[in-house]
């Protein structure tokens, strides 16, 4: 497969699989659920849309990255949460329903916020005219690659819920395979410079992942968001949709710049390290909290709790 075929055909298909899988997990209730979690949703979205891009900009300026890599870092920071966040949140005993809600809302908002952040980054670092968004044709393309597959997935879940349930695991596996394949394409296209780029952005992407995950938990907790919802926010904010970022960077009709895809490709692999650590630690902590709470309940209350939770 040559690079032209990969960027024009394979990458959009891979991204469509990922976003279609997200759609299969969504219902209209997921968008309405934000009313039930107003504080958690507002804090998480504020961190995702404002705080994380600001922190990423600071890291990029301190690191003194070359312009294309700097734009790639900002593209990554502007990308919405990835579907992988739901899996890690489940392992950590977080509020997966909130994860799904935040992913749904973020994916819709990203159609507007992502092009704006990337355009400003290009103007600031490159001072060029190759931008996405703020141009109707390219904005329509971002809309197509982000929301159309999600909409199809939601429609399939509504019309054929049994089929959607059976396809959940295969599509999740396909999404992971698509992510690895997209990362592989990005690395292949920049294979001659991989060593140098890893030196420049490897530590930076790891730092961004750790800071994003930490902020995603600490800020909601300071805002008195319950622990399980804070865990959900942490993974949603910390695990960005690197597949989307890579596709936008490599697509000939969008940025068409392999160098800009490098930070997202590196991040797509590195983020599993801090995410896995947090999932392990928080999973044990919240499990211990549940056991401690149940142990302090009267026996009749514990029996009722067991009946209510289906254990």
Q: What are 127-141's pLDDT values in tens digits?
A: 655 555 446 566 666
The domains of the chain are located at 3-279
The mean pLDDT value for 282-289 works out to 73
What CA–CA distance (Å, rounded) separates 45 from 48? 5
Q: Measured between alpha carbons, how far is residue 236 from residues 59, 107, 120, 241 in Å?
A: 20, 11, 24, 10
Q: Which residues pair with 240 in a beta bridge?
A: 81
Contact by Cβ (8 Å): 20, 150: yes
Q: Which residue has the higher pLDDT, 220 or 197?
A: 220
Split at pLDDT 50, 70, 90, the class of 157 is confident
Give the fold, CATH level 3, of 3-279: Na+/H+ antiporter like fold (1.20.1530)
Name the residue with tokens 């070359």.
66
Q: Which residue has the higher pLDDT, 37 or 267?
A: 267
> What pTM value is reported for the model?
0.75
Q: Which residue has the higher pLDDT, 212 or 247?
A: 212
Q: Which long-range contacts (CB under 8 A, 24 or more apart) does 120-123 make?
A: 121/70, 121/71, 121/74, 121/75, 122/71
Dihedral angle sign, alpha carbons of residues 153, 250, 201, 110 = negative
Q: Which residues pair with 81 in a beta bridge?
A: 240
Average pLDDT, the chain: 78
């Amino acid at each position: 497969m040559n690079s032209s075929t990969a960027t024009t055909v394979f990458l959009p298909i891979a991204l469509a699989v990922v976003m279609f899988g997200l759609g299969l997990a969504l219902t209209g209730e997921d968008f309405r659920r934000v009313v039930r979690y107003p504080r958690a949703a507002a804090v998480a979205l504020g961190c995702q849309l404002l705080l994380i891009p600001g922190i990423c900009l600071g890291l990029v300026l301190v690191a003194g990255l070359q312009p294309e890599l700097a734009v790639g870092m900002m593209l990554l920071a502007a990308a919405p949460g990835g579907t992988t966040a739901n899996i890690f949140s489940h392992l950590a005993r977080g509020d997966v329903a909130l994860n799904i809600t935040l992913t749904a809302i973020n994916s819709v908002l990203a159609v507007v916020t992502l092009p704006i952040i990337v355009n400003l980054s290009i103007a600031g670092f490159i001072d060029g005219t190759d931008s996405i968004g703020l141009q109707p044709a390219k904005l329509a393309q971002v809309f197509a690659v982000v929301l159309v597959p999600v909409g199809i997935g939601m429609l399939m879940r509504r019309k054929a819920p049994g089929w959607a349930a059976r396809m959940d695991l295969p599509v999740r596996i396909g999404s992971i395979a698509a992510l690895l394949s997209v990362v592989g394409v990005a690395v292949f296209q920049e294979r001659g410079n991989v060593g140098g780029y890893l030196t420049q952005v490897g530590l930076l992407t790891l730092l961004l992942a750790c800071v994003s995950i930490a902020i995603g938990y600490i800020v909601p907790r300071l805002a008195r968001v319950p622990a399980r919802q804070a865990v959900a926010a942490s993974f949603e904010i910390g695990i960005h949709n690197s597949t989307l970022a890579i596709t936008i960077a490599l697509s000939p009709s969008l940025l068409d710049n392999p160098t800009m895809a490098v930070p997202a490709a590196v991040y797509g692999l590195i983020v599993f390290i801090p995410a896995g650590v947090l999932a392990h630690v928080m999973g044990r902590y919240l499990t211990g909290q549940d056991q401690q709470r149940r142990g302090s309940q009267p026996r009749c209350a514990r029996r009722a709790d067991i009946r209510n939770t289906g254990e």
